[in-house]
Amino acid sequence: MIAPQLWQPKYSPRYRVAWVVEASISWGVAPWSLLVIRYILNKRNKQRLAAMEAAAEAAGDGEDEGEFGFIDTVDEQGNVVKQKVEISMLDLTDLENKRFIYPL
Give 2-52 as a DSSP string. -HHHHS-GGGTTTTHHHHHHHHHIIIIIHHHHHHHHHHHHHHHHHHHHHHH
pLDDT in tens, 16-46: 988 998 888 889 888 999 999 999 999 999 9
Does the global pTM surpass 0.75? Answer: no
Q: Are 7 and 17 in contact (CB under 8 A)?
A: no
pLDDT in tens, 43-59: 999 999 999 999 888 87
C-alpha span between 21 and 101 (Å, rounded)? 37
Residues sharing a CB contact under 8 Å with residue 48, sequence separation 6 or more, in sequence order: 98, 99, 100, 101
Residue 75: which region, alpha, beta or left (left: phi > 0; alpha: psi -120 to 50)? Answer: beta
Per domain, the residue ranges of the chain are: 3-89
Percent with pLDDT over 70 in the chain: 94
